[in-house]
């Protein structure tokens, strides 16, 4: 019996292959974008964990300096003598030519485990590792970059992250000029049970337990949350398609349900059959979706990797690994989405009385009633969004504001459009125009989900586009101010730097050292820069958000520090707060500066104070002020007289060009996701129009019979789609701007630590509008063609008495 009943139910799909394809493709698309984003997140997180385990050896307990400075060699020796089984590490950034790497010096004899798949004390040549010229263990990509910039032997190990290099601790000490100062100590898993307490032996050292989340994973949380939100938005838009298609398919099969039940198929059996049918469809569509998701992720991953590198300095490989967990998650999401989308339809089947007549338009009428409820629900959500925006705090609240705003606007859309169409209908006097508006209004319930999907996609595009463009404009303005020096140079070593410091003052207007140390400030590891604050360059160009009147004088005198916006917001600092700096000194905060693109906190002190408190600060980088017309000649002289490689002397224009290129690459993935979401919304519109065109004849045939040609009817259908598109677009603009405001004023501040002014870009909206218009026209072409070429016999069937 089951099989016979199932055959009757499944025959529906055989008669409506396009509807079947719409359902499967809609669900596949929704799953694809969701699982694609999840795949990217999983890959990135795995990469952070791998990097942390290799670079920071964070699976092991570590000993780190409490004040963020370094550990003296003597302390290490004391601990070893007391029986602690520990291994020293010296690490720091170093430039080999123009290639900057994180150099990690390890002791091959005491380091626990192997390094990135490379065992220095195993089959590899230990003698070569510890003796001149030394060995650098790096990834394949880093090896390619380094090969022409160092005499050291380069070996490739599989798990080393790009931009990092392991070497012998002696080599690292010499290259980084650390003179016996260790960065940290790695504690081996096997220790004597009767070890003397660390507090007594070395009170200046703290224990860092294993398993801490890598810093970069915490930093990038907000980015991955953004990505997940985008994936979810696309998934929700896709589910709209599924919901609409299942609803229509169930409505069209009402007569079959009634017949089956009158022939003795119980309600439970019918429900079971329908659920089985949906689950099988969901499973198949989910499989297809996960496969498409893999390709989507492969396409997006290089962009995401560039974004993560640009925003956070996080290294993620550009290729994707197939992970069973997101295959499983993708399938579960597809099935859960299908069950969620079909719950209402299944419930209606269960409540349908046996003798209810088939009502092909009943679903639309029922939804018309629902429009009023939706309007009310949407209003409640918008008010909630406003309340959360005013009184809420934190990243989660920011996303809640976003969610309520988007969902509220989407829910209100059909009601707003319905009211607007009713007004137009009342205003029109021509019969055909009156019918046009009235009929458009009647189509709303059937099209509302597609229109809501279109609104979400358009608003997301406008909102994210406004955010990115505002960011770009602010960033470029900021770059123009901040990159004031005409030339930026990097000496290859201290000797060369010393000679340049002596030579440059006579050949330039001024020389601005760009020196920095890393240290723990307010519990975070960040960079402390020195600024020649007496130089007018800073006073004239450095963009300050807040500051005392004498800010630069106080910085120059070593009596004040500037902090960047990220640190100011993150640590809730105020002007005048005392800032404890590594090395046991402190200065008051005298100013706040914007520092876009930098994920971490940063401090600027006077250059003399920096050099006095950190005498070992690397003094290799400088900004050089000179009349712009003389800059190329000076660059030429520095390369010819000092033998500096061209890439070590960068002019301002090149640096700005590089920064802009990095910025544009950074938001490439956002653009790609916008296009995908708009594509899904376009498909939602297409599928809705296509399914509606199948049930439109009873409404169109009487008008045709009264003397309106099929061509004119098709034209009116096109105008109807364009009118709805235009109305949705008009609503999407304020919603998108609201979204941009939330992103710029709430989410970005929480996620990145900086707040940007919002700029308006109407020409971008025009471009988006034209793209969406093209999508709307494409979506209506097939249904229109079907209508324009329909035979009179099909239209006459509407009037047939035996219908």
Partner 1 sequence: MLLSLRNVSKSYTTAEGRLEILKSIDFDLDAGESVALTGESGSGKSTLLHLAGGLDHPDTGQILSVGRDIAALEDQGRAEYRRTAVGLVFQQFNLIPSLDIGANISFHARLAGRHDPGWERELVQRLGIEPLLARYPDQLSGGQQQRVAIGRTLAARPPLVLADEPTGNLDEVTGDAVLDIMLSLTRSAGAALLMVTHSSRLAQRLDRRVHLHGGKIA
Residues that bind partner 1 (CB under 8 A): 361, 365, 430-432, 434-435, 438-439, 441-442, 698-699, 701-712, 792-793, 795-796, 798-803
Nearest to 754 by CA among 543, 612, 586, 607: 543
Cβ proximity to partner 1, 117 vs 792, nearer residue? 792
β-pairing verdict for 153-156 and 135-138: parallel
Per-residue tokens: 623: 């900004």
d(CA 457, CA 727): 14
DSSP class per residue in 92-142: EEEEETTEEEEEEEE-TTT--S-BTTB-TTTTS-HHHHHSTT-EEEE-HHH
d(CA 656, CA 28): 42
Cβ proximity to partner 1, 130 vs 689, nearer residue? 689
Cβ proximity to partner 1, 365 vs 499, nearer residue? 365
The distance of closest approach from Cβ of residue 4 to partner 1 in the complex, given in angstroms and rounded to an integer, is 24
DSSP annotation of 54 reads I
The distance of closest approach from Cβ of residue 274 to partner 1 in the complex, given in angstroms and rounded to an integer, is 28
Q: Cβ distance 611 to 583 under 8 Å?
A: no
Cβ proximity to partner 1, 100 vs 711, nearer residue? 711
The distance of closest approach from Cβ of residue 439 to partner 1 in the complex, given in angstroms and rounded to an integer, is 5
Cβ proximity to partner 1, 25 vs 704, nearer residue? 704
d(CA 340, CA 290): 19
The distance of closest approach from Cβ of residue 716 to partner 1 in the complex, given in angstroms and rounded to an integer, is 13
The distance of closest approach from Cβ of residue 325 to partner 1 in the complex, given in angstroms and rounded to an integer, is 50
d(CA 177, CA 173): 6
The distance of closest approach from Cβ of residue 796 to partner 1 in the complex, given in angstroms and rounded to an integer, is 6
The distance of closest approach from Cβ of residue 442 to partner 1 in the complex, given in angstroms and rounded to an integer, is 4
List Cα–Cα distances, 724 to 88, 448, 549, 767, in angstroms.
Answer: 68, 10, 56, 18
Per-residue tokens: 718: 């096109």
Q: Cβ distance 655 to 490 under 8 Å?
A: no
The distance of closest approach from Cβ of residue 414 to partner 1 in the complex, given in angstroms and rounded to an integer, is 15
Terminal C-alpha separation, the chain: 30
- Residue 434's CB is within 10 A of a number of other CB atoms, namely 15
Instruction: Looking at 542-620, list the stretches that DSSP marks H as alpha helix, in order from N- to C-terminal side.
Output: 551-556, 565-570, 607-613
Nearest to 543 by CA among 618, 488, 497, 475: 475
β-pairing verdict for 510-513 and 621-625: antiparallel
DSSP annotation of 505 reads G
Nearest to 604 by CA among 560, 570, 546, 661: 560
Cβ proximity to partner 1, 387 vs 705, nearer residue? 705
Cβ proximity to partner 1, 216 vs 364, nearer residue? 364
β-pairing verdict for 585-593 and 515-521: unpaired
Cβ proximity to partner 1, 154 vs 438, nearer residue? 438
d(CA 585, CA 582): 7
Cβ proximity to partner 1, 572 vs 803, nearer residue? 803
The distance of closest approach from Cβ of residue 454 to partner 1 in the complex, given in angstroms and rounded to an integer, is 22
Per-residue tokens: 374: 């939706």
The distance of closest approach from Cβ of residue 711 to partner 1 in the complex, given in angstroms and rounded to an integer, is 7
Location of structure tokens 């994920």: 599
The distance of closest approach from Cβ of residue 440 to partner 1 in the complex, given in angstroms and rounded to an integer, is 8
Cβ proximity to partner 1, 45 vs 441, nearer residue? 441
Cβ proximity to partner 1, 372 vs 711, nearer residue? 711
Beta bridge partners of 71: 182
List Cα–Cα distances, 456 to 349, 380, 440, 441, 461, in angstroms.
Answer: 30, 18, 21, 21, 8
The distance of closest approach from Cβ of residue 706 to partner 1 in the complex, given in angstroms and rounded to an integer, is 5
Cβ proximity to partner 1, 368 vs 737, nearer residue? 368
The distance of closest approach from Cβ of residue 793 to partner 1 in the complex, given in angstroms and rounded to an integer, is 7
Q: Cβ distance 299 to 672 under 8 Å?
A: yes
For 117: left if phi > 0, alpha if psi spans -120 to 50, otherwise beta; the answer is: left
CA gyration radius, the chain: 33
Cβ proximity to partner 1, 6 vs 798, nearer residue? 798
Location of structure tokens 């195993």: 122
The distance of closest approach from Cβ of residue 719 to partner 1 in the complex, given in angstroms and rounded to an integer, is 16
Cβ proximity to partner 1, 259 vs 709, nearer residue? 709
């Amino acid at each position: 019996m089951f099989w016979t009943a199932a055959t009757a139910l499944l025959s529906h799909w055989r008669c409506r292959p396009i509807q079947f394809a719409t359902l499967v493709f809609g669900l596949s698309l929704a799953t694809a974008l969701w699982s694609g984003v999840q795949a990217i997140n999983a890959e990135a997180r795995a990469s952070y964990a791998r990097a942390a385990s290799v670079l920071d050896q964070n699976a092991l307990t570590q000993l780190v300096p409490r004040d963020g400075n370094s550990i003296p060699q003597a302390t290490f020796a004391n601990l070893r003598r007391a029986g602690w089984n520990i291994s020293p590490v010296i690490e720091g950034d170093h430039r080999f030519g123009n290639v900057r790497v994180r150099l990690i010096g390890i002791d091959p004899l005491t380091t626990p485990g192997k390094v990135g798949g490379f065992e220095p004390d195993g089959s590899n040549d230990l003698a070569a590792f510890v003796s001149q010229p030394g060995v650098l263990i790096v990834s394949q990509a880093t090896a390619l970059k380094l090969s022409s910039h160092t005499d050291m032997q380069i070996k490739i190990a599989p798990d080393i992250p790009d931009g990092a290099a392991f070497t012998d601790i002696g080599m690292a000490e010499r290259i980084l000029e650390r003179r016996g100062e260790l960065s940290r100590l790695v504690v081996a898993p096997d220790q004597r049970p009767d070890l003397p307490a660390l507090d007594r032996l070395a009170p200046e050292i703290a224990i860092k337990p294993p398993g801490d989340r890598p810093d970069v994973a915490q930093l990038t949380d907000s980015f991955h949350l953004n990505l997940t939100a985008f994936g979810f938005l696309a998934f929700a838009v896709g589910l709209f398609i599924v919901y609409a298609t299942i609803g229509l398919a169930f409505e069209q099969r009402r007569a079959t349900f009634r017949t089956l039940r009158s022939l003795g198929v119980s309600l439970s059996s019918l429900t079971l059959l329908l659920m089985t049918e949906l689950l099988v469809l969901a499973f198949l569509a989910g499989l297809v979706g996960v496969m498409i998701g893999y390709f989507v992720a492969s396409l997006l991953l290089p962009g995401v990797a560039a974004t993560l590198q640009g925003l956070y300095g996080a290294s993620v490989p550009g290729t994707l690994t197939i992970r069973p967990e997101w295959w499983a998650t993708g399938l579960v999401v597809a099935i859960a989405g299908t069950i969620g989308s079909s719950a209402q339809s299944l419930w209606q089947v269960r409540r349908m009385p046996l003798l209810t007549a088939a009502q092909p338009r009943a679903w639309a009428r029922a939804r018309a009633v629902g429009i009023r409820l939706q309007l009310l629900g949407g209003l409640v959500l918008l008010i909630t969004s406003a309340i959360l925006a005013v009184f809420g705090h934190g990243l989660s609240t920011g996303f809640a504001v976003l969610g309520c705003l988007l969902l509220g606007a989407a829910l209100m859309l059909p009601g707003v459009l319905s009211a607007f169409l009713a007004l137009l209908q009342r205003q029109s006097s021509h019969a055909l125009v009156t019918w046009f508006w009235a009929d458009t209004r009647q189509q709303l319930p059937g099209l509302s989900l597609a229109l809501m999907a279109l609104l979400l996609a358009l608003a997301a595009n406008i909102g994210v586009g406004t955010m990115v463009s505002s960011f770009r404009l602010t960033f470029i303005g900021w770059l123009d101010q901040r990159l004031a020096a005409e030339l930026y140079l990097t000496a290859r070593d201290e000797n060369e730097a010393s000679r340049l410091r002596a030579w440059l003052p006579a050949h330039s207007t001024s020389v601005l050292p760009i020196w920095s140390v890393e240290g723990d400030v307010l519990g975070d590891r960040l960079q402390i820069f020195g600024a020649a604050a007496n130089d007018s360059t800073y006073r004239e160009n450095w963009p300050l958000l807040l500051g005392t009147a004498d800010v630069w004088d106080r910085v120059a005198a070593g009596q004040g520090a500037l902090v960047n916006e990220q640190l100011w917001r993150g640590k809730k600092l105020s002007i005048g707060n005392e800032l404890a700096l590594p090395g046991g000194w402190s200065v008051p905060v005298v100013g706040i500066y914007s520092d876009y693109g930098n994920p971490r906190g940063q401090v600027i002190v006077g250059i003399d104070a920096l050099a006095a408190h950190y005498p070992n600060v690397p003094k290799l980088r400088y900004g050089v002020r000179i009349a712009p017309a003389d800059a190329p000649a000076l660059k030429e002289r520095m390369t010819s007289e000092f033998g500096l490689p061209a890439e070590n002397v960068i002019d301002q224009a090149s640096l700005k060009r590089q920064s802009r290129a990095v910025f544009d690459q950074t938001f490439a993935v956002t653009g790609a996701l916008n296009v995908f979401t708009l594509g899904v919304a376009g498909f939602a519109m297409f599928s809705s129009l296509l399914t509606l065109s199948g049930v439109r004849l009873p409404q169109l045939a009487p008008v045709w019979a009264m003397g309106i040609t099929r061509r004119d009817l098709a034209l009116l259908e096109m105008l109807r789609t364009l009118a709805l598109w235009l109305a949705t677009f008009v609503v999407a603009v304020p919603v998108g701007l609201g979204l941009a405001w939330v992103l710029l004023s709430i989410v970005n501040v929480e996620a990145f630590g900086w707040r940007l002014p919002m700029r308006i870009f109407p020409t971008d909206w025009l471009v988006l509008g034209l793209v969406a218009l093209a999508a709307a026209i494409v979506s209506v072409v097939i249904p229109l063609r079907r209508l324009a070429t329909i035979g009179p016999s099909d239209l006459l069937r509407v009037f047939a008495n035996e219908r």
